[in-house]
Amino acid sequence: MYLHLGNDVVIKETEIIAVYDMDNTTVSKRTREFLTHFEKAGRLIYVTNELPKSFIVCDGGDGGQVVYVSQISTVTLLKRCDFISDNSIYTNTETTQGTQAPQ
C-alpha cells in the first residue's frame, strides 16, 4: 500500500519507520538537531510550503533514511494507512507523537 503525504508525494507504507507530530517533538533540542542533520545532508524533503504538522522518517532504499515534512497531521496520516481506526485510543494527537508505523 501507499501513503499520500500531500501534494503529489506518495510513499510505500513499508518504507515508513516513524511518524512524528511536529508541534510536540520540535521543542526538543535533539529533534531539531536531527532535522537539521537531515536537511544539511539533503535528505529532508518538504512536501509543501504550508505550515508543517508532521514529519515522517522513511527508509531511503539506499541504506540511509529520508525525512518528509508534511502539512498533514499524524492522526490523519496514520488513519490513511489503517494504523488506527476511528474508535482507537490513538485518535488523540498527544498519544500519536513518535508512534512507530506497522512493519
Q: What is residue 36's predicted lDDT score, i.e. its pLDDT?
A: 96
Give pTM, 2 decimals: 0.78
65-70/44-46 β-pairing: parallel
Residue with cell 510536540: 24
Q: What is residue 96's predicted lDDT score, i.e. its pLDDT?
A: 44
Residue 57 β-bridge partners: 18, 67
CA 58 to chain centre: 8
Edge to edge, the sheet with strand 54-59 lists 44-46, 65-70, 54-59, 16-21, 99-100
Q: What is residue 82's predicted lDDT score, i.e. its pLDDT?
A: 74
Tell me the pLDDT of the chain (103 aa) as tens digits. Answer: 889 998 989 999 899 999 999 999 988 999 999 999 999 999 999 999 999 999 999 998 888 999 999 999 999 998 888 765 444 444 444 444 455 554 4
